[in-house]
């Protein structure tokens, strides 16, 4: 008996040893030469040292189904571990084993950790590096993807789901990451597309490289698929840890409190001079963001996509907040299609995970023109309007400068029931900007005037004096207080504190119908 036990222990040690080798030394070398870490090295970097516990290390594919019957682990490493002491579930595709391709067993392993993550209420992090559906498994491989998609959708808004694309991710495989909350990509080694360069060449006779079609740069700047891009695996995984630190583990918890030793009552007199005297001059909204947030720290989502709006996670008085701000330094801070859907998705993420929303407003309006109208500015703008309006977390706005027309309403205004709306004395809250307004109101006089430009300037000045300020809105009670810019941090922290216990009733329904 003792011999049998001893034999089994030896066998276990041998089996584990084989599994730990993945696809073997040659393939591991090739992986490194391609500028990529192995699946296990990535897990080690992602998680707190020594915290990883693996499941299914001995799992192989079903006998006879494919070559995977002889591949321990079936091309993916799964389990759980900790990030700064908090539990997360992980899968990491092993490109050295059948190109990390996904078949039945591989999918079952991923589904197991997805189910556990949802049951336990912990984030799920997927490290993707795969040739896609395992060709030899045919329809079973497609069914296997379906099981993952189904779970991605069910876990959406319940636990944070984070995807890192660290190699190929092609075909229908892209749809799992794209359903998750945040997509990280690594420069040069990662690409994502539904149909690859070969299909593009065959169908539309166009030559294009994988990087040009779906590299990290393309998805960070053009498509808006990637939320974060890093130059290598190490920096990417470090950033995932940073993101997790801002988030609650699930939708029943509040985000973790972290004291950065930045006094809540700190004032910044320089803010009184942030807004330039010339209303047409831009300035960098990030100066304000850095000034008010704890330790001047924040994590910007999609920094290179629709830079006219800034979405970031930061902390105020130790509490995680989601911040949405117009950026006057880019396209004067207008709302366009990309800015609208970028911010709408961010707002919905924050709302799903109990992260209060702060909105810094300097918006001259929606971007005019056929490109935007035909591209769906009505639909996209409506997404942002819908997202802010349905959000039940504490919602605070500060109107820094421009707040014109419909764009003012959309940007978390009092009229769509934000909780508290402050304005700086520099705020301009009106239906139209001075030029547009004067041209409409004084059309007849202007037509008949000898010096049209001089009269227009005079009328614009009149309009500016009467309408372009925060005081009319304050008199009507639409602005809760006109605050000194220097006090913004302090006022926001005090407001967040009293809103902490906010409860917002929502009508009973299956779900709303956001204009997707």
For position 75 contacting ligand HXC by CB under 6 A, the verdict is no
If one counts every other C-beta atom within 10 angstroms of the C-beta of residue 290, the result is 15
Q: How many residues bind ligand HXC (CB under 6 A)?
A: 15
Identify the residue among 168, 197, 248, 307 touching ligand HXC (CB under 6 A): 168
Q: Rounded to an integer, what distance in angstroms lies between the CA atom of residue 199 and that of residue 113?
A: 34
Q: Is 171 a catalytic residue?
A: yes
Q: What tokens does 144 get? A: 């296997």
Q: Rounded to an integer, what distance in angstroms lies between the CA atom of residue 80 and that of residue 82?
A: 7
For position 24 contacting ligand HXC by CB under 6 A, the verdict is no
Cβ-based neighbours of 390, under 8 Å, separated by 6 or more: 351, 506, 512, 514
Residues 91-120 contacting ligand HXC, CB under 6 A: 98-99, 101
Comparing CB distances to ligand HXC, the nearer of 148 and 411 is 148
For position 39 contacting ligand HXC by CB under 6 A, the verdict is no
Q: What is the widest separation between alpha-carbon atoms in the chain?
A: 111
Q: How open is the CA angle 358-420-357, to the nearest 5 degrees?
A: 20
Comparing CB distances to ligand HXC, the nearer of 26 and 451 is 26
Q: Rounded to an integer, what distance in angstroms lies between the CA atom of residue 158 and that of residue 124?
A: 11
Q: What is the DSSP letter of 53?
A: E
Residues 183 and 195: beta-carbon distance below 8 Å: no
Q: Rounded to an integer, what distance in angstroms lies between the CA atom of residue 148 and that of residue 11?
A: 32
Q: Rounded to an integer, what distance in angstroms lies between the CA atom of residue 343 and that of residue 351?
A: 12
List Cα–Cα distances, 430 to 96, 299, 364, 436, 458, in angstroms: 60, 32, 10, 11, 18
Q: Rounded to an integer, what distance in angstroms lies between the CA atom of residue 355 and that of residue 160?
A: 12
Comparing CB distances to ligand HXC, the nearer of 142 and 378 is 142
Identify the residue among 155, 173, 243, 479 touching ligand HXC (CB under 6 A): 173
Least distance CB 155 / ligand HXC (angstroms): 18
Q: Select which of 282, 318, 375, 406 is catalytic.
A: 406
Q: Select which of 75, 126, 171, 381 is catalytic.
A: 171
Choices 83-91, 128-136, 316-324, 335-343; region in contact with ligand HXC by CB under 6 A: 128-136
For position 73 contacting ligand HXC by CB under 6 A, the verdict is no
Comparing CB distances to ligand HXC, the nearer of 27 and 494 is 27
Comparing CB distances to ligand HXC, the nearer of 78 and 101 is 101
Identify the residue among 142, 153, 296, 516 touching ligand HXC (CB under 6 A): 142
For position 22 contacting ligand HXC by CB under 6 A, the verdict is no
The residue written with tokens 């942002």 in the block is 384
Q: Rounded to the nearest 10 degrees, how much is the dihedral formed by the CA atoms of 211, 214, 219, 222?
A: 90
- Any idea how long the chain is? 516
For position 170 contacting ligand HXC by CB under 6 A, the verdict is yes
Least distance CB 131 / ligand HXC (angstroms): 2
Strands 191-193, 168-170: pairing is parallel
Q: 227 in helix, strand or coil? A: coil
Residues 104 and 133: beta-carbon distance below 8 Å: no
Q: Is 437 a catalytic residue?
A: no
Q: Select which of 141, 155, 343, 407 is catalytic.
A: 407
For position 215 contacting ligand HXC by CB under 6 A, the verdict is no
Identify the residue among 52, 89, 91, 145 touching ligand HXC (CB under 6 A): 145
Residues 162 and 243: beta-carbon distance below 8 Å: yes
Q: Rounded to an integer, what distance in angstroms lies between the CA atom of residue 108 and that of residue 151?
A: 12
Identify the residue among 73, 171, 248, 317 touching ligand HXC (CB under 6 A): 171
Q: How many CA atoms lie within 13 A of 174 on its CB side?
A: 17
Choices 55-63, 167-175, 416-424, 486-494; region in contact with ligand HXC by CB under 6 A: 167-175
For position 126 contacting ligand HXC by CB under 6 A, the verdict is no
For position 224 contacting ligand HXC by CB under 6 A, the verdict is no
For position 364 contacting ligand HXC by CB under 6 A, the verdict is no
Q: Is 81 a catalytic residue?
A: no
Q: Is 407 a catalytic residue?
A: yes
Q: Select which of 24, 138, 146, 172 is catalytic.
A: 172
Choices 164-172, 431-439, 453-461, 485-493; region in contact with ligand HXC by CB under 6 A: 164-172
Comparing CB distances to ligand HXC, the nearer of 40 and 134 is 134
Comparing CB distances to ligand HXC, the nearer of 153 and 454 is 153
Tell me which residues touch ligand HXC (CB under 6 A): 98-99, 101, 131-135, 142, 145, 168, 170-173
Q: Give the active site residues.
A: 171-172, 406-407
């Amino acid at each position: 008996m003792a011999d049998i036990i001893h034999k089994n222990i030896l066998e276990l040690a041998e089996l584990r040893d084989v599994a730990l080798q993945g696809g073997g030394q040659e393939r591991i070398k090739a992986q490194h030469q391609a500028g990529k870490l192995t699946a296990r090295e990535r897990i080690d970097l992602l998680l707190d040292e020594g915290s990883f516990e693996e499941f299914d290390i001995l799992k192989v594919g079903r006998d006879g189904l494919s070559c995977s019957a002889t591949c321990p682990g079936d091309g993916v490493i799964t389990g759980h571990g900790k990030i700064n002491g908090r539990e997360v579930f992980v899968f990491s595709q092993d490109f050295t084993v059948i190109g990390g391709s996904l078949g039945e067993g591989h999918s079952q392993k991923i589904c197991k950790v997805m189910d556990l993550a949802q049951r336990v209420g912990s984030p799920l992090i997927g490290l993707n590096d795969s040739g896609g559906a395992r060709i030899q498994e045919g329809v079973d491989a497609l069914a296997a993807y379906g099981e993952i998609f189904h779970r991605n959708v069910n876990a959406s808004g319940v636990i944070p789901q984070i995807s890192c694309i660290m190699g190929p991710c092609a075909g229908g495989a892209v749809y799992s990451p794209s359903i998750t909350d945040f997509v990280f990509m690594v420069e040069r080694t990662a690409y994502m597309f539904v149909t690859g360069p070969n299909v593009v060449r065959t169908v539309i006779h166009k030559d294009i490289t994988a990087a040009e079609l779906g590299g990290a740069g393309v998805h960070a700047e053009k498509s808006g698929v990637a939320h974060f891009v890093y130059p290598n695996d190490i920096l990417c995984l470090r950033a995932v840890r940073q993101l997790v630190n801002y988030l609650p583990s699930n939708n029943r918890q509040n985000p973790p409190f972290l004291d950065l030793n930045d006094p809540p009552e700190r004032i910044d007199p320089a803010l009184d001079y942030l807004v330039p005297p010339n209303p047409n001059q831009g300035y960098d909204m990030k100066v304000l963001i850095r000034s008010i947030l704890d330790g001047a720290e924040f994590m910007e989502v999609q920094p290179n996509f629709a830079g006219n709006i800034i979405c970031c996670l930061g902390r105020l008085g130790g509490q995680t907040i989601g911040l949405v701000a117009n950026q006057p330094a880019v396209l004067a801070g207008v709302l366009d299609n990309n800015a609208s859907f970028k911010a709408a998705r961010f707002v919905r993420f924050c709302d799903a995970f109990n992260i209060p929303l702060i909105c810094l407003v300097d918006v001259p309006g929606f971007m005019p023109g056929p490109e935007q109208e035909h591209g769906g500015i009505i639909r996209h703008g409506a997404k942002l309007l819908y997202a802010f309006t349905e959000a039940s977390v504490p919602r605070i706005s500060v109107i820094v400068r421009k707040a014109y027309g419909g764009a003012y309403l959309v940007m978390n205004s009092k009229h769509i029931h934000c909780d508290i709306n402050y304005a700086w004395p520099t705020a301009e809250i009106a239906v139209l900007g001075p030029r547009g307004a004067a041209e409409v109101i004084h059309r007849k006089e202007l037509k008949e005037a000898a010096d049209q430009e001089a009269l227009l300037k005079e009328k614009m000045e009149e309009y500016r004096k009467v309408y372009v300020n925060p005081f009319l809105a304050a008199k009507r009670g639409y602005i809760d207080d006109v605050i000194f810019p220097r006090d913004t941090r302090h006022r926001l922290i005090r407001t967040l504190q009293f809103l902490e216990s906010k409860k917002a009733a929502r009508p009973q329904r299956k779900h709303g119908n956001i204009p997707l």
